[in-house]
Amino acid sequence: MKSPSDPTVSNSSGKREVRMRITAISLSLVVGALLMAAKFYIYHITLSTAILSDALESIINVVASAFALGSILLAAVPPDDNHPYGHGKIEYFSAGFEGALIILAAIGIFKTGWPRIFEPAPLPNLQQGLWLLLGASLVNLILGMGLIRAGRKTRSLTLVADGRHILTDVYTSAGVILGLFLVNLTGWFWMDGAVACLVGANILYTGGLLLHQSFAGLMDASDPKLLQEICNLLDNNRKEAWIDIHQLRAWTSGNLVHIDFHLILPRSFSLEDAHIEAKALESILLCHFKENAGVLIHLDPCIEPNCPICARYLCGERVLPLAEKTVWTVENTTKKGRGDERLAVHPPVNNS
What pLDDT was estimated at residue 11? 58
* Interatomic CA distance for residues 332 and 334, integer angstroms: 6
In sign, the C-alpha dihedral spanning 44, 49, 52, 54 is negative
* 16-to-76, 81, 161, 282 alpha-carbon distances in Å: 11, 25, 20, 23
What radius of gyration do the chain's Cα atoms show? Answer: 27
Do 224-345 and 7-218 fall under one CATH topology?
no
Cβ pair 339, 301 in contact under 8 A: no
Q: What are the residues whose beta carbons fall under 8 Å from the beta carbon of 116, sequence distance 6 or more?
A: 49, 190, 192, 193, 196
Residues of the chain with pLDDT under 70: 1-14, 75-76, 84-88, 220-221, 254-255, 338-352
Residues in the chain: 352
What pLDDT was estimated at residue 12? 65
Backbone angles phi, psi at 322, to 5 degrees: -65, 125
Q: Which of 143, 176, 152 is nearest to 52 (CA)?
A: 176
* Interatomic CA distance for residues 32 and 35, integer angstroms: 5
One DSSP character per residue, 51-62 reads HHHHHHHHHHHH
* CATH number of the 7-218 domain: 1.20.1510.10
Q: Specify the amino acid at residue 346.
A: H
Half-sphere exposure in the Cβ direction for 208 (13 Å, CA): 7
At the fourth CATH level, the homologous superfamily of domain 224-345 is: Cation efflux protein, cytoplasmic domain (3.30.70.1350)
Tell me the residue ranges of DSSP E strands in 35-91.
Answer: none
This prediction has a pTM of: 0.57
What per-residue string of b and e applies to 273-295 under the rule 16 or more CB within 10 Å gives b?
ebeebbeebbebbbbbbbbbbbb
Q: Which of 95, 57, 64, 94 is nearest to 203 (CA)?
A: 57
* Interatomic CA distance for residues 235 and 243, integer angstroms: 11
Collapsing DSSP states into helix, strand and coil, what is residue 259?
strand
Domains of the chain: which residue ranges?
7-218, 224-345
What pLDDT was estimated at residue 265? 94
What pLDDT was estimated at residue 345? 43
Q: What are the residues whose beta carbons fall under 8 Å from the beta carbon of 313, sequence distance 6 or more?
A: 322
* 337-to-301, 313, 318 alpha-carbon distances in Å: 11, 21, 18
